[in-house]
């Protein structure tokens, strides 16, 4: 009798723990209403600062959208990308070299602390900012889910292990997304974020000059790159140039639109990771369809995939903390 009651109790505990683990893993406990009572003006407060910034510095839209992606792919969306401790943190990782806009997050967080001190996590601020910059760039809107808490750890090695490289092939990209619970569709949809922003020449210089190692004098460009596009890119990025900034979606890099997909379809995607979307039947079909039309479809998909990305490995409940300052653990 007694043992069966004990084991029954134990079983319930197990189920309870399993449910918690499940919640944590897929962010079930996040909700748009999370701060409804504790910080009713949150969404408005964040949007006001973001709109102000975007009206004077629209090129910060790209890096701010990208920051949420980098946060979520390393240790889950826990604000760890923002930490700036004496340790070598994620900020120091090579793929991060180019993340800008940390001071904007500090500015937003200060505004939020003024209206609701100690309530809102930096991870949630990042998620809201990513949505607000997307809207400011004429992209889709979505209802941001809240309730994330901030992590206390950030290390360079984890960032290097989890962030995907612009030199990655399609199987590595698919695996990288799958490891975070994201689908092949999420991969192609979220790559559409490259419709805005700029890149350093370092991320694709190899494709222009010395792709196989035959050397610059032998016209050694990546054969998957449109032959007529190569001289245009070469005029922007000289051999060995790593630092010049190039518009990823030339002509409309400040507008969130479908043109990323038409570039990729024309074999003018900037990175090998963009070109790789033509190497899988599902991602290729998506690129080809959206290169031509269906802006509404892409906008809806992007919103859905961003919400899904925002749930990766989140800390909730009593896990982690609510950081006072986004660059430091409390």
Interaction between residue 215 and ligand NAG (CB under 6 A): yes
Whether 158 has a binding-site annotation, put simply, is no
Q: What is d(CA 213, CA 228) in angstroms, rounded to the nearest whole number?
A: 21
With contacts defined by CB under 6 A, name the span among 53-61, 123-131, 212-220, 251-259 that binds ligand NAG.
212-220
> Which of ligand HEM, ligand NAG, none does 92 bind, CB closer than 5 to 8 A by kind?
ligand NAG
Token couple for 301? 């998909």
Q: Is 155 in the site for ligand NAG (CB under 6 A)?
A: yes
* Catalytic option among 9, 70, 200, 290: 70
Residue 194 annotated as part of some ligand binding site: yes
Q: Residue 85's binding partner, choosing from ligand HEM, ligand NAG, none, with beta-carbon cut-off 5 to 8 A by kind?
A: ligand NAG
Does 124 count as an annotated binding residue?
Answer: no
Residue 87 touches ligand NAG, criterion: CB under 6 A: yes
Rg from Cα positions in the chain = 21
The beta-carbon contacts of 164-167 under 8 Å, at least 24 apart in sequence, are 164/73, 164/95, 164/273, 165/95, 165/273, 166/199, 166/203, 166/204, 166/270, 166/271, 166/272, 166/273, 167/206, 167/271, 167/272, 167/273
Residue 232, C-beta contacts closer than 8 angstroms, at least 6 positions apart: none
Please tell me what DSSP assigns to residue 308.
H
CA dist 153 and 83 (Å) reads 8
Q: Answer for the pair 225, 273: CB distance below 8 angstroms, yes or no.
A: no
Partner whose footprint covers residue 63, from ligand HEM, ligand NAG, none (CB < 5 to 8 Å by kind): ligand HEM
Catalytic status, residue 70:
yes
Of 27 and 166, which CB lies nearer to ligand HEM in the complex structure? 166
Residues in contact with ligand HEM by CB under 6 A are 62-63, 65-66, 69, 98, 100, 164-166, 168, 173, 190-191, 193-194, 196-200, 203, 271, 273
Q: Which is nearer to ligand HEM, 269 or 320 (CB)?
A: 269
Residue 129 CA: distances (Å) to CA of 88, 111, 241: 25, 13, 32
Q: Per the annotation, where are the binding residues for heme b? A: 194
Residue ranges in contact with ligand NAG by CB under 6 A: 83, 85, 87, 91-92, 96-97, 152-155, 169, 171-172, 210, 213, 215-216, 329
Q: Where in the sequence numbering do the catalytic residues fall?
A: 70
């Amino acid at each position: 009798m007694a043992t069966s009651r004990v084991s029954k109790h134990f079983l319930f505990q197990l189920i309870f723990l399993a449910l918690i683990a499940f919640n944590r893993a897929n962010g079930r406990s996040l909700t748009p209403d999370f701060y409804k009572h504790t910080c009713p003006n949150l969404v408005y407060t964040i949007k006001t600062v973001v709109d102000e910034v975007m009206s004077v510095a629209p090129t910060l839209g790209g890096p701010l959208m990208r920051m949420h992606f980098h946060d979520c792919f390393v240790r889950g969306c826990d604000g760890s990308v923002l930490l700036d401790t004496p340790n070598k943190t994620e900020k120091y990782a090579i793929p991060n070299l180019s993340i800008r806009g940390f001071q904007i997050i500090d500015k937003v967080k200060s505004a939020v602390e003024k209206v609701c001190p100690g309530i809102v996590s930096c991870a949630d601020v990042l998620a809201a900012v990513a949505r607000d910059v997307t809207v400011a760039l004429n992209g889709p809107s979505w209802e941001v889910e809240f309730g994330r808490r901030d992590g206390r750890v950030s290390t360079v090695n984890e960032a290097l292990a989890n962030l995907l490289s612009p030199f990655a092939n399609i199987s590595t990209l698919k695996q990288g997304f799958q490891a975070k619970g994201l689908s092949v569709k999420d991969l192609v949809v979220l790559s559409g974020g490259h419709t805005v922003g700029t890149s350093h020449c370092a991320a694709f210089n190899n494709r222009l000059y010395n792709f196989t190692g035959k050397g610059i004098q032998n016209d050694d460009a990546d054969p998957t790159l449109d032959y007529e596009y190569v001289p245009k890119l070469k005029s922007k990025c000289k051999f060995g140039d790593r630092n010049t900034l190039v518009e990823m979606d030339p002509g409309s890099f400040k507008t969130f639109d479908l043109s990323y997909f038409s570039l990729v379809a024309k074999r003018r995607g900037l990175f090998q990771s963009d070109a790789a979307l033509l190497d899988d039947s599902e991602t290729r079909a998506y690129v080809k369809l959206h290169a031509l039309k269906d802006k509404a479809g892409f906008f809806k998909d992007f919103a859905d995939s961003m919400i899904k990305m925002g749930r990766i490995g989140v800390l909730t409940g009593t896990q982690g903390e609510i950081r006072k300052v986004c660059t430091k653990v409390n």
